[in-house]
Amino acid sequence: MTQTARTPVKAARATLLALGLGLLGAQAMADLVTFQTATGSMELPEPPQTIAVLDIAAIDTLSALGVEPDGIVTPLYTDFLEPQMEGVPSVGTIFEADFEKLAVLRPDLIIVGSRAAAQAEALRRLAPVADMTIGPDAFGDGEARLAAYGTIFDKQAEAAELQTQLDAALETTREAVADKGGRALILLANGPKISAFGRGSRFGWLHERLDWPQAVEGIQTSNHGEPVSFEYVAQADPDTLLVIDRGTTVGEGAQSAEATLDNALVHNTKAWQEGRVIYLSPPAAYVSAGGVQSLLFTLDEITKALTAGGS
């Protein structure tokens, strides 16, 4: 009788235990954060509370979402991000993380981009690492990272609003390009040297996303572009020149892009004669390309330059 009397009690306890475990399991599933990175899907057991960001495009988009990192890279090379990140501790540079500072910070998540991706495996000893590299399609990858950050930090509404702004800006710039852009040539100036970029390159989204015809087809795709001469530019004779000044952005005392292109061969191009040499902001177009604020800034620069008749 005694054994029989205890059986319902044990059964009730077992039921309560199962219910409790089920609730804990459901809570764990609710907290699980799943998002897309540059290398595939990633899961975190819960939303991160402390984050270190080793990529400037990521800092750009997180700032636009209202998310302040707990550690960032310095220097940022971008004037517009400096005040937004004032007071946030440095945990390295875009190429080299400071492992000691990261160990002290104890982040729940470390975000890297292309420049720090080589350190991802070593960084995983400290915390989960999300590779949020921006590839050749800076606009498309920027959109994807925006959606991922919205998921990670429960900022879906803010991400959707920023996506709406991106779509509107892209369409406005596309219309300006169709009206006055003609055939474009993208040049990167590094002191006295220049290189060209076309479709499939790190700046190729300007052709692909804006339906902007190339002045020259078959440009070699490489990280630093195809080295070209001023005779090459003259022969291409673009209707619009898009210029990014790398030299003065990453080094001191470099010759400016304006000085480099101020020569007779470039002067004879349609772009120069019709006032359509557009010097894009190097921080937005080069350093933090793919960040939401940078994409909006670059699109606005192009729209204003074309609708105003040049730069």
14 inside domain: no
Residue 182 has pLDDT above 70, yes or no: yes
**What average pLDDT does the segment 196-218 reach?**
96
Contact 246, 282 (CB under 8 A): yes
132 lies in a domain? yes
Average pLDDT over every residue of 255-281: 96
Residue 285 has pLDDT above 90, yes or no: yes
Q: Is there a single domain that holds both residue 186 and residue 140?
A: no
Cis peptide before 48 (omega within 30 of 0): no
Q: Where are the beta strands (DSSP E) in the chain?
A: 33-37, 40-44, 51-54, 71-72, 109-112, 129-131, 184-190, 193-197, 226-228, 240-245, 277-280
pLDDT, average across residues 65-85: 94
Cβ contact 285:134 at 8 Å: no
Q: What's the pLDDT at 252?
A: 65
Give me the number of domains the chain comprises: 2
pLDDT at 135 over 80: yes
For residues 43 and 140, state if they share a domain. Answer: yes
pLDDT on residue 10: 55
What per-residue confidence (pLDDT) applies to 1? 39
Whether the pLDDT of residue 19 is over 60: the answer is: no
Task: Kindly state whether residues 128 and 52 are assigned to the same domain.
Answer: yes
- Asked if 220 and 304 sit in the same domain, the reply is yes
Q: How confident is the model at residue 248 (pLDDT cuts 50, 70, 90)?
A: confident
Per-residue pLDDT, 196: 97
Same domain, 295 and 208: yes
Q: Are residues 115 and 209 in the same domain?
A: no
For the chain, percent of residues with pLDDT exceeding 90: 81
Q: What is the pLDDT of residue 30?
A: 57
Note whether residue 185 is domain-resident: yes
CA 267, 272, 275, 279 dihedral sign is negative
Of the two residues 163 and 27, the one the predictor is more confident about is 163
Q: Pull the structure tokens for residue 216.
A: 């020259």
Query: C-alpha 193: how far from its chain's center?
Result: 26
What is the structure's pLDDT at 28? 45
Range of the domain at 286: 180-308
8 pLDDT more than 70:
no
Per the domain annotation, does 24 fall within a domain? no
Q: Torsion over CA of 111, 117, 121 and 122, rounded to 10 degrees?
A: -80
Query: In this model, does residue 20 exceed pLDDT 80?
Result: no
Q: What is the mean pLDDT of residues 117-145?
A: 96
Residues 247 and 289 in one domain: yes
Q: Residue 254: its pLDDT value, please?
A: 77
The pLDDT of residue 117 is above 70: yes
Nearest to 204 by CA among 293, 305, 289, 270: 289
Residue-wise pLDDT for 31-63, tens only, equals 799 999 999 999 999 999 999 999 999 999 999
pLDDT band for position 247 (cuts 50, 70, 90): confident
Confidence at residue 223, expressed as pLDDT on a 0 to 100 scale: 80
Instruction: Look at residue 162 and tell me if it is in a domain.
Output: no
- Same domain, residue pair 294 and 192: yes
What CATH number is attached to the domain comprising 268?
A: 3.40.50.1980
| Residue 137 sits in the same domain as residue 236 | no
Name the pTM for this structure: 0.87
Q: C-alpha angle 61/67/70, rounded to 5°?
A: 110
- Check whether residue 37 and residue 152 sit in a common domain: yes
Judge if 211 and 297 occupy the same domain.
Answer: yes
How far, in Å, CA of 186 to CA of 205, rounded? 11
pLDDT at 23 over 90: no
